[in-house]
Amino acid sequence: MRSVGPFGAKVFSPDELKILDVLSDGRFHSGVELGEVIGKTRSSVLHNIKNIAESGICFNRVVGRGYQLQHVPCFYDKKSLKSRDGLLFFDCIESTNTYLLGRTDVSNGTVVVAGFQNGGKGRRGRKFISRYGDQIMFSYACRFNEIAEVSGLSILAGVSIVKTLRAAGQQNIGLKWPNDIYVSGKKAGGILVETTCDSDGVFVVIGIGLNVERGFLFSSEIHNIDRELNTIDVAGNDGSRRTDLLLRLCEGLDADLAGYRSKGLAPFTDYFNGCDVFSGKQVVLTNDNVNIFGTCLGISPSGSLIIRDENNIKREIFAGDISLRPVSQDPSRG
């Protein structure tokens, strides 16, 4: 892979792209055959295969048969991606959020997209693990004058994503406070908002990761797949469809951020409450190792969570993790 920027930003070389094009039929191809495709030796093929593997693409290698992709990834239409000004694409990067946060020359609406992240981040320092082509992963940059203006951006981003996906035909999609995308009752994506402050105000990076349909699998040894996750099926495994959806998600954020700047968060909290997957359910809120049990009542106009606790007191929660309360702890089933 060719290094093209900081934070491990790389793209496939022309030879690597030729090899991937041949192997994308899902069959075995010998090192001799692949060498003929790129006009180089089998040792060069092996070197290219090792480089490709750095991007999270895995191979089966069988003596006498050659190489086969363990799964055929979905590749973006890079020509179409160029239709959006300020969009950067990398086949492999440490983290799209980290890349943007490390730049000083970023304007509103700049987007960084990755095929694979080897250092992806989730909330509270958790790792975001991916495999090439299994997720839509991108970060969106914007600026605000005051830190108080950014407190509702996780809510806004979640609503924007759901609106776009619903318009694309996604069924059974909803939101879980503060920043998870759900499909049919299971997590299908997440949002991570990070900020830095400087003399020009507040620089915000909205990181978005969506699980999408996986490519055809040729190996039964798919490691660390969380069976409790779900997928965004409208993305498809076609590069053009995947690219179109990504661009529509970015356009949705453009429009919704403009609305947020002019009208505030209230319109988005109304929408959030209309698709809150935990609304009215018995939940447990965990914050700093303290558990609060109660009924989820949705979110307030400021974006905080409202819970009616076990003492019938409404409580407004500004941070924490929410999950469904186990049936064994539900007093209504005692």
**How high does pLDDT run on average in the chain?**
89
What is the DSSP code (8-state) at residue 279?
Answer: T
Count the Cβ atoms, other than its own, within 10 Å of residue 50. Answer: 11
Contact 143, 198 (CB under 8 A): no
pLDDT tens by residue, 33-74: 999 999 999 999 999 999 999 898 999 999 999 999 998 888
pLDDT tens by residue, 174-218: 999 999 999 999 999 999 999 999 888 999 999 999 998 654 333
**Residue labelled with tokens 């300020």:** 86
3-class DSSP state of 270: helix
Rounded Cα gap, residues 106 and 242, in angstroms: 25
In the chain, % of residues over pLDDT 70: 89
Q: What percent of the residues of the chain are helix, what percent strand, and what percent coil, each to the nearest 5? A: 30, 30, 40
pTM of the model: 0.90
Contact 115, 55 (CB under 8 A): yes
pLDDT tens by residue, 223-273: 344 446 788 989 877 899 999 999 999 999 999 999 999 999 999 999 999
Evaluate if residue 333 carries a pLDDT over 60. Answer: no
Alpha carbons within 13 angstroms on the beta-carbon side of residue 56 total 24
**Residue 228: its pLDDT value, please?**
61
**Residue 218: its pLDDT value, please?**
35
Average pLDDT over residues 217-224: 36
> Which amino acid, one-letter code, is at 330?
D
Q: How far is CA 181 from the centre of its chain?
A: 10
**Residue 313: its pLDDT value, please?**
95
